[in-house]
Structure 1
Amino acid sequence: LPLFVTPKPILKLLNIKSGIDEKAYQFFLKTTQHIIRQRKAEKNNHKKYNDFIQLLVDAENHKEELHDENDVNEAHHVNQGAEELEMERKTLSANFLNKQLTESEIMAQGYVIFAAGYETTATTLTFCSYELALNPSVQERLYEEVEAAVDADGEISYEDLAKLPFLDAVLSETLRKYPPIIKLQRKAMADYKLGDTGIQLFKSQDVEIPVYAIHHSEEYYPQPEKFIPDRFLPENRHKITPYTYIPFGAGPRNCIGMRFALMEAKLGLVQIVRRYRFFRSPQTAVPLEFKPITLLCSPKSVIIGIEKR
């Protein structure tokens, strides 16, 4: 992570490689720049595109309030209390976009969404496929729900996709057991005492939240090493302790791509489960071994069987 955010001139001065393929990086920036300028040129033609770049282009010349009534209602099982929700509403309501977005900022935001969303979503689907292979009853239950929701052409609408409770539960349990980011990093903006814990945070102090450890705590999740999607069904969500399920972080600075990532993963999972069945093979490792990386939850290898339905 430090290499990702450190300015390139400093890395060059220290003779440190960032790990980012410069050729691919420049290709992405040039492609994005071309799209931005093309969209601006077509603006008077009333041609409209429904994608992330277009949202940024539209926001370039507008002062818009960042608050959205859905922001505090789509916390993805964080289960914030009333006090926390009210504080978040005030924070979101106080945030305004008072400046125009530059072309460079649009390109930068596009790159961040692409870089942050690609690997984490792919890894989440890999972990989910692995758990479905080990839990055939869960897999068939998911298949039945999905089959009942798709139309005659095998398509599913955005609205219907968001209304599949077991699909959401399966993906949520995957993100609990295998959070894409194993820890969150924050900086205290003021001195703060953590309830009656005796822990005192001081302004500017760095804080790390151990997401993986919280998600695997017996105190919050009985049998944490077992894959139990029912934990996240609507009738059981009230049992989740606030802030003990945070694969996307929480509060006004949670993951900016949360909704997109969830819809992308759900849509991918629907199409995969409809077409293929996963099963455990003699080479399937139980439990999985992970790469020694400090930030991402990445498996060394995932081997399962797959057959067409």
Structure 2
Amino acid sequence: MLLLIGISVVLLIYFYFKKCFSFWKDRGFVYMEPSIPLGNFGTVGFKEHLSDFMRREYNNFKDKGPAFGMYLLTNPGIVITDPELIKEVCSTSFEHFHERGLYVNEKSDPLWKNLFTAGGQEWRDLRAKLSPTFTSGKIKMMFPIVAEAADRMADYLKYEEITHECLEMKEIFASYTTEVIANIAFGLDTKCLGNHENEFRHITKNIFEPPKLKNFENFLIFSFPKFAKFFNLGINSKHVIEFFMATVRDNMEYREKNDIRRNDFFQLLIDVKNSDVGMSFDEITANSFIFFAAGFETSSNVMSFCSYELALNQDIQDRLRTEIEEVVERFNGEITYDGIKEMKYLDMVFNETLRIHPVVDTHVRKCTKDFKIPKTDLVIPAGVTVMIPAIGLHHDEKYFENPDVFDPNRFSDENVKKLVSHTFIPFSEGHRMCIGQRFGTMQIKIGLVKLLRNFRIFPCNKTLVPMKYTPNSGFQSALGGMWLKLEHIN
């Protein structure tokens, strides 16, 4: 009897998975063959990074149709490979794909209800409130705060006790961007460089390098959102939530009590709160948090990869340094906001870094109502997660000749005109394009300019060639750290 029950249970489970895994076949899509019980993502986060997985599968399916199906456990997802369809998803048919479909439980984690995760009318209202804070004029006002932190980074690297033979640059860049974002988003002078015990730096590591148990919990949350909601689970730990809530409350009360104003993002949010538009305390906290979380980790990784490519391509590094010195000389020896905007080759190097190493390697949307793919009989059903593989497009030889070669000239004025639309998408595209792009770009460029004016960058005996990514990192990150050699320029 027990044997019969056991066999029945096994058969029920088997047919359950067979039914779930017939989703894409029943709808006529090409798809990855899934494995019970993990679907197609069994290796991601353990043996390989998502970007390695997505690039490989993009290449396997890019010539088999505009999109292909896959499964996260039993949940169906679809990967878009056709630039025209990407345009539909991001812009033309945005009403079908306006949500990211990410898990939000504001009761347990109020930090996770922000512009990045919001959808529908809530997203539109937040975007309208926040967009004025990211104009070029507002970003320019923040330039001195960023430049001061970049100066501290350069001065720190000049200390005699620091060996330049082999430095882990990711931690240095992460400390720099933490200082910048903490100052801009919360008005805090954190002094992270050289201070590994700094509380703010410790908190950032807790967010992006959580303990294994928290990593597993977050995997369950994203895989079984209904289950997570039932048990009131949140993405961030209680300690992280309490830290940011207290930080915002204390700083807001201090500024308002002492009538203090600063040219930073936090002040702009306070101004919105006090305007006719209005903004709640939870909204200010959540959006300060996402500005910080999105801005520090992505920027530090871009700086790491850019330094890496410059170390491996000394001719490009020399040309970039020459441009920097020429522009600085034109601006009376000063590094200015307008001067950095004139550094065209710097912009080309920046874009080529993002092409080869798109820190956000896959953009995610959710189909909110059935969408028929133009010129086909295929329909993307409502509720399905849609993935846009920037990493695959950026390395597709159809759009970028010799895609693994670091060549900034791809982004010269003449060559940019030849780019196929929606094949270079480091910040996504359309209505949900990254709102903080201008600020992140400024932060990265200032840091690189200060670094290159003071140091030459070389590979060392611990530099990864070829590059390998940390499997369980949320963003692309060099496996074992970004180890490089610096030589001071006298």
TM-score (norm 2): 0.51
Aligned partner of 2:302 among 118, 121, 124: 124
**Per-residue CA distance 1:146-173 (angstroms, 9 max, x = gap):** 1122258853111221221111111111
Quote the offset at 1:263 in angstroms: 0.5
Aligned partner of 1:28 among 244, 251, 256: 244
Partner SS, residue 487 of structure 2: strand
Letter in 1 for 2:467: L
Quote the offset at 1:206 in angstroms: 1.9
Aligned partner of 1:134 among 312, 334, 345: 312
Letter in 2 for 1:298: S
Quote the offset at 1:37 in angstroms: 2.2
Aligned to 2:488: 308
CA gap of 1:307–1:6, structure 2 versus 1, over 3 A, is farther
Letter in 1 for 2:273: E
Share of identical aligned residues, percent? Answer: 36
Quote the offset at 1:288 in angstroms: 0.9
Q: For the Cα contact (< 8 Å) 1:29–1:107, is it kept in 2? A: yes
1:106 aligns with 2:284: yes
CA gap of 1:210–1:32, structure 2 versus 1, over 3 A, is same
Partner SS, residue 282 of structure 1: coil
Q: What 5-or-longer segments of structure 1 have no aligned partner?
A: 64-98
Q: For the Cα contact (< 8 Å) 2:101–2:365, is it kept in 1? A: no
**Per-residue CA distance 1:221-278 (angstroms, 9 max, x = gap):** 1111111111112221111111111111111111121111000001111101111111
Letter in 2 for 1:27: F
Q: For the Cα contact (< 8 Å) 2:349–2:408, is it kept in 1? A: yes
Aligned to 2:256: 40
Query: Which structure would you say has the larger Rg?
Result: 2
Aligned partner of 1:144 among 322, 334, 337: 322
CA gap of 1:252–1:297, structure 2 versus 1, over 3 A, is same
Q: For the Cα contact (< 8 Å) 1:288–1:302, is it kept in 2? A: no
1:274 aligns with 2:453: yes
1:54 aligns with 2:267: yes
Letter in 1 for 2:410: R
* Alignment map for 1:1-309 (pairs within 5 Å): 5-7=104-106, 8=108, 14=231, 18=235, 20=236, 22-43=238-259, 48-63=261-276, 99-150=277-328, 155-196=334-375, 199-293=378-472, 295-300=474-479, 301-309=481-489
Q: For the Cα contact (< 8 Å) 2:327–2:342, is it kept in 1? A: no
Aligned to 1:78: none
**Per-residue CA distance 1:183-203 (angstroms, 9 max, x = gap):** 111012443333335543233
**Per-residue CA distance 1:91-124 (angstroms, 9 max, x = gap):** xxxxxxxx52111111111011111111111111
Partner SS, residue 150 of structure 1: helix
Letter in 2 for 1:53: F
Backbone CA RMSD of aligned residues? 2.7
Q: Matched residue pairs, number? A: 270
**Per-residue CA distance 1:51-77 (angstroms, 9 max, x = gap):** 0011111112335xxxxxxxxxxxxxx
Q: For the Cα contact (< 8 Å) 2:105–2:233, is it kept in 1? A: no
